[in-house]
Every structure is written in C-alpha cells, then in structure tokens.
A and B are shown apart, each in its own frame.
Chain A
Amino acid sequence: MFEKALKGNNYYWMWLAFLGFFIAIAVVCYLRQYFYGLGLTGMNRDISWGIYISQFTFLVGVAAGGVMLVLPYYIHNYKAFGRITILGEFLAIASLLMCLMFIMADLGQPLRGLNVLLYPTPGSMLFWDMCVLWGYLILNALCGWVILTAERKQVHPPKWIYFFVYLSIPFAFSIHTVTAMLYCGLPGRHFWLSAIIAPRFLASAFAAGPALIVVMALILKRVANFDAGKEAINKMVTIIIYAAIANMFFVCLEFFVGFYSNIPGHKHTLEYLFFGVEHHGHVYNNLVPFMWGFVALFFVGIALISHPYTRKQSDLWLGIGCASIFVAFWLDKGIGFVLGGFVPTPTHEIVEYYPTLNEVFITIGVWATGFFILTILYKIAIGVEHEIEA
C-alpha cells in the first residue's frame, strides 16, 4: 500500500518538503546536542526536564485520544466512525513515534537506551511506560494495517484482529495513566503528587486528541476530497466538549485543594504558574502568559464548538474552535504541567527555565517528523478509500 504515498499532487510534495526542511534543521541541531551533551538545552540540575519531556507527555495524550474513535466504533458499533477510525489509529502511530523521538532526544546517553530492556526494573514507572508505549504502538500499527488491507480487498477483516483491537482500548488508557504515574508517584513534588493527575491527563487527552482529528478531517475534506461525515464530526465535537470541561473541572479541584487547605506546598506551583511568585525580591512569572493563554483559548474554543452556529454552519469556525482546544491543552500539559512541577526546587529556590534555540529547533523538528509520518499514513488511508469508491 505504500505506493499510495508516492503519488500526489504538487501541494502534497510541497507540504512534505516544507516539513522536511524543519526535519533537516533538527537533524543538524540534534547532532550538535549529541556531540556536546544536553548542556545545549536550557535544562539544569534544578529544572532537570524541559520541553522534550513535556512534549512527550502531551503527545502520549494525543495518541491515547484516538481511542475515543476506536471505542465507540468497535464496542458500541457506532457506524458513523467507520470512515475515520483509521485516522485515530494512524494519529496514534505518529504521536507515539514523536514520543519515542522526544525520549531519545532527552536521554543523556541515548546509545544506552536499551539498558531499559537489558536490566528490566518493574519498580520503575519508566519501565512500564516503555512497555505500554511500545505495546500501543505495535497494536495500532497492526490493527490499522490489517483492517485497511481488508478494506482495500473489500473483505471482512480476519476475526483474530478483533482481539488486538479490543486489547488496544485498555492500552490507550494505560499509556496515559502510566505516563501520569511517572509524575504523581514522586515524593516531594507537591504539584505532581496528586491522585487526580491520571484522570486529568485522560480528560485532556480525550479532548486534545479528537480535536486534532477533527481539524485533520476538516483539512482532508478540503485538500483530499475525503469527507468524514457530518454525524461523525458532530459526535466527536460532543466528546471533545465533555472531555475538555472535565479537564477544567479537575484543574479547578487542584485550585480548591491548594488554596482552601492553604498548605504552601500545594499552592506554590499553582501560584507560580498562574500569578508568578516573588522570592527574595525577584518576581518569577515566565509561565504566567502561557497559563492564561491556556484558560483564554479554552473559553474561545469551547464557545466556538458549543454554539450551534459556529459548530454546524461553518467548518472554519469549527476548525478554529477545535484548534483552540488543542493549543489550550498543549499549553496546559505540554508546557505548564511538567515545567511548573519543578518550581520551587526541593531546597525552596526558584529557578526558571528557558529553552535554547537549539532545543526549540529539535522540538519543532520532532513535531515536523511526526506530521511527515502522519501525512504519509493519511495519504495511504485516503488513497485506499478513494480506490474503493472508484
């Protein structure tokens, strides 16, 4: 089926070349980092994880979000998702590959990465994260490919594949739960040490993932003559609305626990993220604009996708609404959550993190690689759809 990715119009090749440009820059930047060390990033001994790990955390959510299509289609037999379930599965593949690239970019000794397999450590959540991420990646690749092949031959998919389809559903939940456990099991990091992190991660994932799929579906409708169907889009938007509101509800609960209990440890990071904190006469607030951007974009997005006019009458407004939700939750989880958790440090100092240009270009490059893979996968999927229709 790969041959479908080799035939495309000029826009297709221009888009791939555009992404390829950023990938090339990132390769050079990564080589620089590889030969110098992670000192080329903005990280330090106090903020020991930066935008690589925060992108990873967010993208695990995007990958898990695909299950919001798989679950209704395969468990509830919701036929309207039939055409776009493959979009969810392929988005999961691209997101997980981005996750793995971000992990590799973040390792101090990337060549030793296989030590995680060589010395398996079931006590470490990172070990389990590796297991479920690879598991979910393989499941999605397998299910996506087998079902697409069957579709192309216009036969029913083999029975055995359904075992793996059903298996992929708990895996989707597990990837984000285990990713949350990387954070919420650490003593002494109050902001992360909260039982609501895993449900909050899942809620924002089930909004951000489908939001991206809706945006993709709307773009594909224009550029690839692929209509996901009004009913499917509508149902997805409903899922996004509920999941997004659930996420905001959980954020509010964090605020309540912190500020009503008035325990400094529970408040510090929230204060730093949303209002900035003063420490020894200096005000630290470099994440404040991002967090208010998150709140503002959430309200913009939820208004656009909830209001009947913008939701039903205009693809453009709907797309902007979904994109706002996606960006909002990226600001929340892909910026604020991970970076904020390190403030204040265990010795109650405040250190702010600014990514370096090299780091930012590597990050952009990984995203570009992800979209490159996604474009090719979607090209194949849609090529097959068109072939059947023809």
Chain B
Amino acid sequence: MDTNRRNFLKVAGISTLATLGGTVVVERLVTGSNLAHASAPGGHAAEGAAHAPAHEAAQDPSVNRYGMVIDIRKFQQDPSLGEKVVNACHTTHNVPKFPDKKDEIKWIWMTHFENAFPEQPNIYRDTATGTHQLPILCNHCDQPPCVRACPTKATFRNKDGIVMMDYHRCIGCRFCMAACPYGSRSFNWRDPEAFVKDPNYVYPRRMRGVVEKCNFCDERVGSGKLPACVEACSDSKAIVFGNLNDPNSEIRKILKEHHTIQRNPALGTLPSVFYIV
C-alpha cells in the first residue's frame, strides 16, 4: 500500500512539473518571435487577434506604428504612376536590374489584382480592376512569419512596426522567403554591384548571398522624410504613409473614410499596407 501511494505521488508530481514546464516552454516559443517587437505592454495580444480589428491591440499612442494606404483607383487613372513609384524606390535603395529574370530582385512592383489578391477570385470582375495594375510590396506585418522563421534574427520587427533586414547578419538560408506568404522577399543570387547604375551612396548596396526587401524607407522616415514611393506620387495621394497609432493622422482619417482591404488577411499576419479598391 505504502509503496503504491509513494509511486503515485512520484508520478503525479513529475507529471505536474512536466506539464507546467511544458506550458512555459510553449509560451516562450510562441512569444519568442514577439520579443523583438515588444512595443507595448500587452501589445499584439495573440488571442484576440482573430476577432479584433487589425492593429487594435497595437494601438499605443506613445509609439509610432507605420502603415500605408494605397489607392488603386489613382493607379488606374494614371498608368504612368506605377513606373514612377517603382523607379523611385529602386534607385533610392540601389536595387539592381539584372538582364536575367532568374536573378530578379524587387522591393515594390506592379501586378494585377488577381495576383495581389489571389484569395479573392471573381470571374465577373469589373474591367478596370481586371486590367489595371497596382503596386505590391512588403506588408510590414504585425505578426510577420518571416521574423518568426529567421534563425539568426537577421530580419526583425522594429518598435515602429517596420520589418527590417540586417544584411550583415543574414546567412542566406532563405527560410524567410519560404515563410513570407506575400512573395515580398528577394535574394542576391549573384553580386549585385555591377547591376546598380548610378548608386545612391546614402543607402548601402548589398553583397551576394543575402535576402533583401522593402524597408518602408526606414532611413528616410528616420530623418523626417516620406518614403520614396510616397514622394514619387507627389500630390496625387495615391500612396499615403503615416502613423497608425495616432488617431488624428492623415492615414487614420483615410482609413476611417474608405473601405480598405489587406492582402490575405485570413493568415493572421495583420499587414500594415491597406488598399482602397
């Protein structure tokens, strides 16, 4: 009798400890990816994310939280705008132009609605949406799968919501490219130096073997400028950039006034780029 009781207590004790320990480990794993962007106490509460409107949990007025609204109608009205936007970005950031499509690197590019929003198929789509193109870029997700996947924290999320790349830490495993559900990441398959015409010496060029992507013009925003793509749109307001945490910001006003959509929101990544259709 006595030994049975002792054995029972032993087993019970060990399993309790294991369960507790297990939970802690799992919690640590889940929150691990959030460490880099612990912007606010209780920020990005994962439980509510599915039901809460995007970014509700992240609304901390003391921290900037950058986002972007892209007005697809403006790109339909002015078809030359797309090229201007792409060129502005790619020259600012020394994005190389390779003759071979296999080596392609792009930070922002024009594509069709059906490619940008494949989860919204519609065989009776209106002609304008069906034929015109819109820009897509890194979504700077609130819950970025790429940051979760990176084994070296070479890609990380800033407190201001920008998902950044450390080109000097990246080992080039390309796990982030597999993880990104928006195809926003590119890899330097070869030395890009010879394929950057007129380099911009304010921003570094990359070496071969590392991943790169749109950085929401972190270097420009930090010095009080607007992102290059926003600037390229000049007064058309085709792209509006701003602080999502400031209820009085222009971007919040636009978001309040228009119905906007995000790319594949069902994945729970909470993109920071919104589209007005």
Which residues on A are within 8 Å of B, measured CB to CB? Answer: 36-39, 41-46, 48-49, 103, 106-110, 112-113, 115-116, 118-119, 121-127, 130, 182-183, 186-189, 264-265, 341-342, 344-349
Contact A124 B175 (CB under 8 A): yes
- Complex CA gap A127/B181 in Å reads 21
Digitize B20-52: 1 where CB-to-A-CB distance is under 8 Å, 0 elsewhere: 000000001100110100000000000000000
Q: Beyond the given A108-B211, A186-B179, A347-B182, could you list 16 further A-B residue pairs with CB under 8 A, ordered by the A residue number?
A: A37-B189, A39-B189, A45-B105, A108-B188, A109-B172, A113-B171, A119-B152, A126-B149, A126-B151, A126-B173, A189-B181, A347-B116, A347-B183, A348-B114, A348-B115, A349-B115
Partner of A109, one of B102, B103, B150, B170: B170
- Complex CA gap A113/B151 in Å reads 10
Judge whether B208 is part of the interface by a CB distance below 8 angstroms. yes
Which 6 pairs show the lowest CB-CB distances between chains A and B? A108-B172, A188-B181, A108-B209, A123-B32, A39-B189, A39-B190
What number of A-B contacts does a CB cutoff of 8 Å give? 153
Contacts of B247 in A (CB 8 A): none
Partner of A45, one of B114, B170, B175, B177: B177
Contact B171 A109 (CB under 8 A): yes
Q: List CB contacts (< 8 Å) of B130-165 with chain A.
A: 136, 145, 148-154
Contacts of A186 in B (CB 8 A): 145, 149, 178-179, 181
Most buried by B among A103, A116, A122, A188: A188
Partner of B152, one of A46, A106, A116, A183: A116
Partner of A37, one of B106, B150, B208, B264: B208
Contact B171 A112 (CB under 8 A): yes
Contacts of A126 in B (CB 8 A): 149, 151, 173, 175
Known A109-B209, A121-B151, A188-B264: A49·B178 in contact at CB below 8 Å: yes
- Complex CA gap A188/B264 in Å reads 9
Contact B118 A348 (CB under 8 A): yes
Contact B169 A124 (CB under 8 A): no
Judge whether B205 is part of the interface by a CB distance below 8 angstroms. no
Residue of B with least CB distance to A112: B171
Q: Smallest CB–CB gap between A48 and chain B, Å?
A: 4
Contact A107 B171 (CB under 8 A): yes
Residue of A with least CB distance to B177: A48
Q: Smallest CB–CB gap between B237 and chain A, Å?
A: 26
Residue of A with least CB distance to B147: A123
Which residues on B are within 8 Å of A, measured CB to CB? Answer: 28-29, 32-33, 35, 101-106, 111, 114-116, 118-119, 121, 136, 145, 148-154, 169-175, 177-183, 185-191, 207-211, 264, 267-269
Contact B187 A187 (CB under 8 A): no
Contacts of B268 in A (CB 8 A): 187
Contact A108 B150 (CB under 8 A): no
Residue of B with least CB distance to A188: B181
Contact B29 A109 (CB under 8 A): no
Partner of A108, one of B33, B104, B111, B174: B174
Known A45-B104, A108-B209, A116-B151: A182·B181 in contact at CB below 8 Å: no
Contact A182 B175 (CB under 8 A): yes
Q: Smallest CB–CB gap between B72 and chain A, Å?
A: 16
Contacts of A103 in B (CB 8 A): 173
Contact A115 B152 (CB under 8 A): yes
- Complex CA gap A84/B29 in Å reads 39
Q: Smallest CB–CB gap between B78 and chain A, Å?
A: 23
Contact A44 B104 (CB under 8 A): yes
Contact A125 B149 (CB under 8 A): yes
Residue of A with least CB distance to B185: A45
- Complex CA gap A44/B105 in Å reads 9
Contacts of A130 in B (CB 8 A): 151
Q: Smallest CB–CB gap between A370 and chain B, Å?
A: 21
Residue of B with least CB distance to A127: B151
- Complex CA gap A265/B119 in Å reads 9
Contact A37 B209 (CB under 8 A): yes
Known A38-B172, A45-B105: A123·B33 in contact at CB below 8 Å: yes
Contacts of B187 in A (CB 8 A): 38, 45, 48, 108
